[in-house]
Amino acid sequence: MTIDAERLGRNLAKLSFDAPKLSFAFYGRVSTEDNQDPESSRGWQVQLATNLIAPRGGVIVEQFFDIGHTRALPWQRRPEAARLLAALRNPQRGFTAVVIGEPHRAFYGNQFGLTVPLFIHYGLQLWVPEVGGPFDPDNEAHELIMSVFGGMSKGERNRVKVRVRTAMASQTVLEGRYLGGRPPYGYMLKDLGPHPNPAKAAEGKRLHGLTPDPQTAPVVRRIFAMYLAGYGLFAIAEALTRDDIPCPSAHDRARNRHRDGLAWSKTAIRVILTNPRYTGRQVWNKQRTDEVLLDVDDVALGHIAVMRWNGRDQWLVSKDIVHDPLVDEADFERVQQLMTRRARTATAPKRAHRSRHPYVFKSLVSCGVCGRKMQGQHSHGVAYYRCRFPQEYALANKVDHPRNVIMREEALITPLDTWLVQEFGPLQRRHTIAKLLDQLALDTPAVASATPVGPTVADCDAKLARYRAALEAGADPAVVAGWIAETQAERQLAEQQERAVTAVGVPDTTGHLTEEEIIAIVEELGDLVTAVRDAEPEHKMEVYRSLGLRLTYDPDTKTVRADVDLATHRWDSVRVRGGT
């Protein structure tokens, strides 16, 4: 037989040229902790992934890259990782394998063991440089390697946290360095020169310290002097408000938009009197960040960061006086002793601990006079809601407020449930939908753009990640808490706009619901409202919250205004005695 070698060579070359290449999706991550440029980090991670798959004919066709999210978050809670997991379920996804550039950044703790079964289930290979190619679930060595890297990733993060906290503790105690955050009331920041770290100094960063504020420092001195003279917390607040001296939240409105700033409160006076920074010493570690499970019934969802106060024995105070004191240390100690003595006198004899009571309208009732949320209180076995604004804030705030505003809980439950059933019950449901649609037509202007207004969800998530990093770096928790609250509100609005885009293709920039959403919500509410009448108190509270219920009590007319915000109707169904 004669073989045409030249023709055979051309056919082999054609077969090699036409052979399909493996198409890969790349996943990577960069956090805010390592101070890396996101694009540079993405670049070298993609290069590592490309070096792994290129010799096998693989090409990256899509990239998933998380920026500003800690590795401790499970994949389901990282935006890009969650998008990748969602793409696995799509048969038309456009890639046949996934490659990881750096497993330390992708997996933390046991995350690999919780994630790789999804790749196996949907028939996609997961390529990792540390195993030299695709991960083999039947290879014990591969399992061991990835488990080790998950543990190393967790250990690396813990070591970073320990190093940072140890360094900050040393800088506070030994150097008395100001570690950032909002200066306490009575002080302002001053420039102390270039940053002691040469690299940061080269970037133009400066070192700052505390110096007395000409406007507020005399107020702090007056507060300490009045308390030592025998005035109580409320008397001091009353005197300052009467003299038209702005309280801390009114003095700095830019950072206290979440507070009303009407008058001085006993809490503000107490915080000032117990702050050792006024003695000229630096203080750190007044708060800590604890990681608690997001869902105790599903530990795979990971943890969330919760700010908690440390006891005074855990505060770290500088050994030396590092800024101008506003009060003498001897006077400060006398104030602490007086406060301890008065607290013991006020609480003696010690009362027995009262059992906890469920409140159906917990945090849902507002005072119609001052707008503050009313507090729950049980008296003789009956639940009440009260507002004691004059007992907490100075009376000289010129707010005409009764000494006590009290509303009885049981007097509201039956009328409220009856109203809800009438509005959302089967007989009235169509009429309710018609009224809502008429209101929608009056309130909703024409939408001319498909571009969401304000920050996107991704923008807000990036902000929240930066704020968490700021907290870990020692920023003032009170300041960061205000930023977080504002950003979370922006994120909620952005989520509503994105849901509107998904539903009808055009965002509702006004925050109103679409016609289809209103009909679907009212139909679903009908069954829920019918079941709530026979529910237990703790279940009633969950349902009322899900309805977006807000109650405003007017003590003059003894009436309650009830509002249900359908725009907040995005919940997991709550089970109430067998119904949903």
Same-domain check for residues 518 and 502: no
Same-domain check for residues 18 and 130: yes
Distance CA(334)–CA(330), nearest Å, equals: 6
What CATH number corresponds to the domain at position 342?
A: 3.90.1750.20
**Tens digit of pLDDT at every position of the chain (580 positions):** 454 556 545 554 444 444 456 899 999 998 865 567 788 889 999 999 999 999 988 999 999 999 988 888 899 889 999 999 999 999 889 899 999 988 888 898 888 888 899 999 999 999 999 888 999 988 888 888 888 888 888 888 888 888 888 888 888 888 888 888 788 999 998 888 888 888 777 878 888 889 999 999 999 999 999 999 988 888 898 889 888 888 888 888 777 776 767 788 888 899 999 999 999 999 988 888 888 887 777 777 788 888 888 888 888 889 999 999 999 999 999 999 998 887 665 544 445 444 456 777 877 888 887 777 888 887 777 888 888 766 666 555 555 677 778 888 888 877 877 777 666 666 666 666 666 666 656 554 443 344 445 577 777 777 777 766 666 655 555 555 666 666 766 776 777 666 555 544 444 444 455 556 656 665 555 555 555 666 666 667 766 776 678 888 888 888 888 877 655 444 333 333 322 2
- Domain presence at residue 290: no
Distance CA(560)–CA(374), nearest Å, equals: 13
Same-domain check for residues 32 and 132: yes
CB atoms within 10 A of CB 468: 21
CB atoms within 10 A of CB 216: 21
- Domain presence at residue 168: no
CB 195 within 8 A of CB 207: yes
Same-domain check for residues 70 and 211: no
- Domain presence at residue 323: yes
Same-domain check for residues 51 and 71: yes
CB 480 within 8 A of CB 471: yes
Same-domain check for residues 116 and 104: yes
- Domain presence at residue 526: yes
pLDDT on residue 480? 59
Burial of 226 (0-12, 13-18, 19+ CB in 10 A): middle
Same-domain check for residues 68 and 79: yes
pLDDT on residue 548? 73
Q: What residue numbers bound the domain in which 482 lies?
A: 450-487+498-509
Tokens of 296: 């105790």
CB atoms within 10 A of CB 509: 19
- Domain presence at residue 524: yes
Selection from 213, 324, 188, 342 nearest residue 273 by Cα: 342
Same-domain check for residues 122 and 254: no
Number of domains present in the structure of the chain: 4
pLDDT on residue 270? 92
- Domain presence at residue 288: no
CB 368 within 8 A of CB 555: yes
- Domain presence at residue 300: no
Same-domain check for residues 204 and 82: no
The last residue of a domain, from among 347, 368, 393: 347
Same-domain check for residues 205 and 144: no
Same-domain check for residues 43 and 112: yes
What CATH number corresponds to the domain at position 141?
A: 3.40.50.1390
Same-domain check for residues 268 and 203: yes
